[in-house]
Structure 1
Amino acid sequence: MRELLDRLEEWYREGRPFALATVVSTLRSAPRDAGAVMAVTADGVALGSVSGGCVEGAVYELALEVLEAGRPRTAAYGISDDDALMVGLTCGGTLEVYVEPVDAAHYPEFPELIAALREGRPIVVATVVTTPDPARLGARLLVGADEEGAGDDECGPLPAALREVLAADRTTLVRRVGDALIPVEALGVARDEIVFVRSYVPRPRLLVFGSNDYAVAVARAGALAGYRVTVCDARPVFATAQRFPGVDELVVDWPDRYLAGTRVDARTAICVLTHDPKFDVPVLVRALRLPVGYVGAMGSRRAHADRLVRLREAGVTEAELELLHSPIGLDLGARTPQETAIAVLAEIVQARHGGTARPLSLTDGRIHR
């Protein structure tokens, strides 16, 4: 929903009601993961996507019905490979979509959700999406994350207050890595309810050390991929807003000193693109000892061999060196800084989600894991 934030906030502030459709469950080859959203206004403006095109028309019509009735609905699309064409889900998977009206009367907590997303504060939203009691459909709970919450860096903490609510319903959590989603499915609940819980956590961080053309391209690609991008270089003449427009943070400091004082987690990716041992060796010594998801360094194979010698001399162990992606990026045959940035981000995505990095045409099995 982050990519729609500006427009949704504008609609809400203007008192322009809209329906918000959210994928709450998927099975087999559904084109979008749980959490994908589409918003539709009463006058027919649509933003976002729940299926990549397969059932957008049906969900669009359902959204208009929800707006007219002023009540939420849940609908399923796709049953089997044999009749997928009839329901419009050509991939043969299934997905369930929850559609709710959003305005001051139906969703008074929406500004709280918007503010949390704007400020990068973790927040959890639990919504009853299936229930035999029509009055309960759409009941929701918003809880800000607390320091003692259970969970991990990938999914974010689950607040104690919310855990108590879920425990009272005798539900079980199923962790979904990728979009920080935690679906909760009823398990012998007397009310036969299903609650969908979404944990919004801050965007993962991408730390880019260096200020050359490759750093510019990697920063842009990282922002496009949804990362909160920080660029750091010790040379103020190169680390400028003109060179790096739109990054979340631009820092003029020695890379290793900055890394020592900033917060990282298991979703953080670090790209060292300085091409200068006096910068890259100290920051790599520190980076390889941090609990981050990815550490990569740019350079030729000769530069990499020299870097390994310097890192070993600095006390880096062989186990720590195995964490280093260098030369950085996947082998795509990239030539330009922009193509290289794609190769770098492809490797970061592969490291985070565990793909094979092989062409899909040469693999079999499910595309969406």
Structure 2
Amino acid sequence: MERWLQALQQTLAHGDAVVLVTVARTEGSAPRDAGTKMVVTRDTVSDTIGGGHLEFKAIEVARQVLREGGRGPTEVNRRLERFSLGPSLGQCCGGAVMLAFERLTIADLGWVKTLARRMTAGQATVRSVAFDSTLPVMLSDPEPGCESPDCLLWTGDASGPLLTETLVVDTFPVVLFGAGHVGAALIEILRTLRCTIRWVDERDAQFPKLDLARFPTLTIDANDAPEAAVDEAPAGTYFLVMTHSHALDQSLTERILRRADYAYFGLIGSHTKRKQFEHRLAARGIDPHQIARMICPIGVPGITDKSPEVIAVAVAAQMLQVVDSRVSHARPVTA
């Protein structure tokens, strides 16, 4: 679940008011895209709209909205404010952002819970908010074929400006084979990203003792037949193979390459290991195009440190490059 949505649920369930800050529109260069959110309470902030002086001012405005709301029929619950990202804010982006501020109370918990359920189920949802109005937040299904993330601020009608955003679960699935030092270091990074993780190893005792509350997207799979995790993974999975056994690495590699519908496949090892595997895989009839897709050694080029933590950072960065590339190619081209 999105961090901002989780923060909303937890805070509203305790009866506290919050302000949801949304980047409603961007003009020119901006720190974050339209649709980015953060949640502000009297003394906490969850998530970020880009940091810097813009975020400082946004928090200041949000807490003003928090103080001014709930005072009767003229309560201030929603507000739009434009910020220029130039000298006045001490930022060099040069663009501008329109921020939407929504004061939410326990009365909003119903739609927040509904949205959370839909997002957990993978359902794209359109959220509509009318400003200069006390109309409730509306949730609806997107039009067929319009299920990409989007955020638009309309001029609106008598109810004032209208913010409509399509919220989409954009997590990517990762299957990680191997619970050694690099795998453990990588899990610490992956848990902070927008991914679900299945961590597979034959050796149950090899897995570290984890506070699973800190790893809500992680599934630990102590499996005597790890190859099954390859077959069960959805199309577009990001596979990482780094087990204790070269023989198992090769078996998993062959199985992954034969299915061919993966987004990324990284195999830990040296250039020598790659050459050996290429020869053996070719002899077993694996498509040369699929062998060429195998990334080994793994990690962004140019990083030579072989400590587990550094390898983990390099691998995560390489995976994110692939994620961004796939997202860019999936976006519709507009004239």
TM-score category of the 2 structures, normalised to the smaller one: 0.7 to 0.9
Matched, 1:257 2:228: yes
Deviations along 1:56-100, one digit per CA (max 9) or x if unpaired, are 232223223433234211222116xxxx11145432122221111
Within 5 Å, give how 1:171-210 maps onto structure 2. Answer: 175=148, 181-184=149-152, 194-201=162-169, 203-210=171-178
Q: Does 1:353 align with 2:333?
A: no
The within-5 A match list for 1:43-82 is: 43-67=42-66, 68=68, 69-78=75-84
- Preserved contact between residue 35 and residue 165 of structure 2 (Cα < 8 Å): no
CA distance 1:89–1:75, shift in 2 (3 Å): farther
What amino acid maps onto 1:55 in structure 2? L
| 1:195-274 pair list within 5 angstroms | 195-201=163-169, 203-238=171-206, 240-242=207-209, 247=215, 248-253=218-223, 254-262=225-233, 264-266=234-236, 268-274=237-243
The CA deviation string for residues 232-270 of structure 1, in whole angstroms up to 9 with x for no partner, is: 1223342x35279655111122332122123x243x311
The 3-state SS of whatever aligns with 1:225 is: coil
> 1:311, CA displacement in angstroms?
1.6
Distance change >3 Å, CA 20–CA 138, structure 1 → 2: farther
Separation (CA, whole Å) in 2 of partners of 1:212 and 1:321? 25
Amino acid at match of 1:282: S
2:143 is matched with which residue: 163, 171, 177?
A: 163
Q: Does 1:103 align with 2:105?
A: yes
Decide whether aligned partners of structure 1 residues 244 and 329 sit closer, same or farther in structure 2, where only a CA change above 3 A counts: farther
Check whether the contact 1:304–1:327 (CA below 8 A) recurs between aligned residues.
yes
Per-residue CA shift, 1:136-177, capped at 9, x if unaligned? x7653324xxxxxxxxxxxxxxxxx4317xxxxxxx9695xx
Distance 2:161 2:4 in 1: 29
In the TM superposition, residue 120 of structure 1 has moved relative to its aligned partner by 5.2
Pick aligned residue for 2:96 from 94, 97, 104: 94
- Please report the TM-score for the alignment, with normalisation by the length of structure 1: 0.74
Number of equivalenced pairs = 312
Q: 1:279: which partner in 2?
A: 248
Q: How far does residue 112 in structure 1 lie from its aligned partner after superposition?
A: 1.9
Residues 123-138 of structure 1: matches in 2 within 5 Å?
Answer: 123-128=124-129, 134-135=132-133
- Partner Cα distance (2:13, 2:130) in 1: 26
Matches within 5 A, 1:302-321: 302-321=272-291
* CA-to-aligned-CA distance 1:3-31 (integer Å, 9 cap, x gap): 34554323211111111101122233211
Alignment of 1:133-148 (within 5 A): 134-135=132-133, 140-143=137-140
How far off its partner does 1:347 sit?
0.7
- Corresponding residue for residue 37 of structure 2: 37
SS at 1:55 equivalent: helix
5+ residue gaps, structure 2, are 69-74, 327-335
Match of 1:122 in 2: 123
Unaligned runs of 5+ in 1: 144-160, 165-171, 176-180, 356-369
CA distance 1:303–1:314, change in 2 (3 Å): same
Q: Larger helix proportion, structure 1 or 2?
A: 2
Shift of 1:292: 2.6
Match of 1:362 in 2: none
Q: CA deviation at 1:224?
A: 2.4
Q: What is the aligned partner in structure 2 of residue 154 from structure 1?
A: none
Q: Which residue identity lines up with residue 236 of structure 1 in the other structure? A: D
In the alignment, which residue of structure 2 is the partner of 1:337?
A: 308
Identity between Structure 1 and Structure 2 (%): 22
- Take 2:289 and 2:143, find their aligned partners in 1: how far apart are those partners? 38
| Deviations, residues 311-333 of structure 1 (Å, cap 9, x unaligned) | 22232111112221111111312
